[in-house]
Structure 1
Amino acid sequence: MANIEQRGENSYRFTVYLPKDAKGRYPKERMTYTVEGKYTPKQLQEHLDHEYLKFKAEVLSGNYVRPEAMTFSTFIKEWDKKYASKLAKTTHGNHVRKLDLHILPEIGHMEMSQINEFILMKLLDGLQRKDGQDGELSFHSKRDVYRTLKSIFKYAVKWKVLSQNPMDGVEKPKAKDTEEEYQDLQVYDEDEIAQLMEIIQNELPHWRAMFTLALAAGMRRGELLGLQWNDIDFDNNQITIHTTIVLTKGGPHIKRTKTRSSKRTVTLPLSMMEELRTYQKHHKNTREDSGERWIETEYDWVFCQFNGEHMYPSSPSNRWAKMLQKHNFRYIRLHDLRHTSASLLIAQGIHAKIISERLGHSDISVTMNTYGHAFKSADRAAAEKMESIFLKK
């Protein structure tokens, strides 16, 4: 009997026969294998022979686990090795965090064949915060867990571990109300920004410049850390954003911005450019004073440590939180300065397309979906302004 049988256009069945058992029978193990990619007939045969021998070695060594008996934890190791680990480090890290915190503790022990729609819906409905605070996970974070599960079970079906995808019957988490949908987007109003600017003036030059730039340009933390001096065009009052420094499971990682639209040029207010000029002078003096301690030679970071190397990704957020606590000022995340920047532009009637380009969104729909609440408020303000014009008649 053939050990490799074709079952469909790209589907093959491998069969491995084991030694005779106590009842005089020859047990066998079978696996369905799907060929991906294009091969010549000779290449295809060599590929199938190679994969069959791998399967046979697993069976004969006792390490083979039938798909129907595979636990979720075991499958995750395969999913990570064959797919997730090849994603961008930040994307991979996000998947790993969701698995470690919210998914594996709940269903890691279960066999893949036992996991159904009801179990997955219960998992999503019961998600709780794991940051030391009580309460449900925000709907934004629930959606992140949902996306991780979607990816996992998509590949479980693709690799023939499951015949049906249990996530097909699970709806994407929705906000309970409009306020919940936008509660993660905390922003400062104009009065708070005026107070914040006074507080920032008391900070060291690099923190003062960084926090002000975060607001003026709507930059992400990683983009601020990835900014170099040659990215600043002092003649045209612009900065070019193309590099980001992010924290992954393996430590800080320098990379190009994620999408083509993330690489962008942003025009800054004159006051911001003056702030950067002042900080540049301070930066040069610091570098000269550091002498041999300055060891960075490849990059010319705008915001860096005493030796010229980039800051650790969590440092700005830590300093931001300490500054607000010291002055007893309402806390929002450093990332929320980006949302505050967008909200200010919306309130000023700036077109969504311009805001989308400044923020580096992949599409204007991302801007509209993220800041829909602010656009609605601006629309009401526009109506009230129009009403005041009509009342003058």
Structure 2
Amino acid sequence: MSHVEHSPKTPPPTTSRLTRRTFAAGLVGAAAAVPLGAAPAHAAGPTPSTTRWARRAATSYAALRTYFAADHGLYREQYPVGPDDRPYSYEWPFSQAHVAALDLSGMAGVGARYRDALSDHRRAQQLYWKQAGSTGLPGFASYVTPPHGDGGDFFYDDNEWVALADLQHNAMYRDRGSVAQARQLFDLVVSGWDTDESHAAPGGVFWTQAPWSSDRNTVSNMPGAQIGLRLHQLTGRPSDLEWSLRMYRWTNQYLQRPDGLYHDHLDLLGTVEKTIWSYNQGVPVSVNALLSAITGERHYLDEAVRIADAAADFYGQAEGNRTRLDAQPPFFNSIYFKNLLRLESITGGQRHRRAMEEYAERTWDTRRDPRTGLFSFGEDAEVAGRTQMIEQAAMVQILAVLGWSPDRHRLLY
């Protein structure tokens, strides 16, 4: 089950042997989140390359605002608006517009222009906040809450993307409130752990609290591990590392292929859904890099490189007149690429950035309507001339991050 279907809404391991020794000072420095209260990371000035991408990001963001903006700082789900569309987008698409504003604010030379827009998105994000879900903890509902909407179920991955945006916001702007919210959301994710030992492949974080699904997904576990590791770097709390390792090991045991790539999910009978989505490959790359920085164990970094290379090889294969990567939703590819850029901020190299630039160039040329600035994906979208808001937001993210100075890619979630 993937987010393609998502918008309509259909004892912890010990860490006694883990140390925080540094096997390479540069690795830990590059992979670690910036401590609270530290001075902002130095950013190099714009270059001709970053300026070009930043201009494209600005144009694409202007189209996002022109065609999708609604009242209260929210967005509509798609353009043109359908007869049965709700007034506002679901939370998962909104969160990606929020992240787009965050990424715009990091662009070399021009990011400061988007600080007010980022603040507006952070305020509007709270319109999805719900005081308690089925586990009794607060989080973000799948739709805006009263008085603007009727709320909805909690999806753990929806909440994880917001928590990771919070942690990126803190890394960029030193904001304790963002860390506090990420803590609340991590507690929510932990509460979604499957504790029924009678289930096939017992354990794992469920995808959603909605009663119609009991799947446990790569995307509900690996981002959870990523949040816990970032929080552990900031606070040193042992339980964050323990829970992250628990999520990491469960996902590797039940959903990772021998070549390093990850299946999507499994159900309570142990049946595995084997689709290889791009975002499910990107997040484990950062999880392994973070584990290497925290534990000082090189094999985690080697595993991050192995997964990234396997994914690049897999998605680089041709399918008809396009690559497998082009067949992936752009909102999965934005997450995928940003995690690979973060790895290259540690290991060096340009393979993944070059692939990201090639994808962005190809998509700009073939999927964008120059009259509107809107991107459309899929054969049906081309026929109907319809763009999903989350698709536009994802392309803003990709273009904006290409407009960052590469020395700041370590701040990406």
* TM-score band, normalised by shorter chain: under 0.3
Considering only CA atoms, is the larger Rg found in Structure 1 or Structure 2?
A: 1
Higher relative contact order (CA 8 A, sep 6+): 2
